[in-house]
Amino acid sequence: MLTAYQEGTGALCGDWSMERELALCEEAGFDTIEIRSDRLLSYLSGHSIGELKAFFAGSRMRPRCMGGSFIFPELFEGGSPEAAGLDGEVLSRAVAAMDAAEKIGDRAYLVINHILNAGTPFMPIDILDQDYPYGRERVTEFTARILRQFCRLAEDHGLSIAFEPVCGRGGSVKTMDHALEIIEATGCRNIGLCIDSFNQFIYEFKSDFSCYGIIPPEKIITAHVNNADDLPPGVLAPPHRRFVDSGVIDLDNFMGNLKAIGYSGPISVEVLRPEYYAKPLEWVIKEAYRTTKALVDRHS
């Protein structure tokens, strides 16, 4: 398995810059990196795609999965000038990120399932105290329809779509069998899964990752890993994620189930913790690598 870094882990550090982040990740020893599209846009305000391409041309570290887009049931349906405008904004951001991903040698573009949202379509905030309102059949229909369009766009850039289910109370896709059903319903070949230990844990607040046993390993594009504070349902949220060396999630169970199906791809640390953002980027990256590498080595 590969030790990987998801850019959200240090993206909001006060001393963040992509050029520093890339250099520090390579120095630390990460095998792959997943670039966030919002951070890419920030980088491009003063740099070119050519510069980013040149970095990876001379680096042993490889890009893996550009992220990403959140979906919602009405996406790509139009119906009003406002809806059509939002569709266009989602598409333009996705196409720009896919174009960059193709040029730097990325393999996939991330798309996240619908979650009940108190934020914006581009940066949702999970609603923790409401059940998801739509049934499985409706979710399969609109999710497959939307993913099909993303797959077409990705195919134009030689990419796959990595579909990430957020399985909590307000998430539309709760189980891996439903996620695989949706992938099958797209009828597309260039689509797989991004699995995430936190996103699976919040389904039933159990460290039972045997659900991964039904996934063909080639259908996992990347695996996000993180631990979490010991907080109850309705309180535990993405900002309570933490590095993998401590927390309430049994990550040996997570890794053991991935190993059992023959998965050998990236184990990508993704931690979205304000406490870490308050620290220097160099500290975040060194700790992210040290703790994740120890977990990966234990199961290699």
Instruction: Supply the CATH number for residue 144's domain.
Output: 3.20.20.150
Lowest-pLDDT range, 43-52, 78-87, 133-142, 247-256? 78-87
Bridge partner list, 110 = 67, 162
pLDDT in tens, 159-181: 999 999 999 999 999 999 999 99
For residue 78, what pLDDT band results from cuts at 50, 70 and 90? confident
Angle (nearest 5°) at CA 191 between 61 and 182: 140
> How confident is the prediction for the chain on average, in pLDDT?
95
pLDDT of residue 126: 76
Q: Residues near 195 by Cβ (< 8 Å), separated by ≥ 6?
A: 164, 165, 176, 212, 215, 220, 222, 223, 224
- pLDDT above 80 (res 55): yes
Dist. CA 195–CA 224, nearest whole Å:
6
Distances (CA, A) of 295 to 35, 76, 88, 288: 22, 41, 41, 11
Q: What is the full DSSP assignment across 112-143?
A: E--B-BSSBTTB--B-SSS---S-HHHHHHHH
Q: Show the domain range for 98.
A: 2-298
pLDDT of residue 122: 76
What would the mean pLDDT of 239-248 be, rounded to a whole number? Answer: 97
Bridge partner list, 242 = 227
Dist. CA 142–CA 76, nearest whole Å:
10
What would the mean pLDDT of 217-231 be, rounded to a whole number? Answer: 98
pLDDT above 90 coverage of the chain, percent? 92
Query: What is the β-pairing status of strands 220-225 and 266-269?
Result: parallel
- pLDDT above 70 (res 139): yes
Q: How many domains does the chain have?
A: 1
pLDDT of residue 79: 82
pLDDT of residue 117: 83
pLDDT of residue 121: 74
For residue 118, what pLDDT band results from cuts at 50, 70 and 90? low
Lowest-pLDDT range, 45-54, 79-88, 123-132, 211-220? 123-132
Q: What is the pTM of this model?
A: 0.96
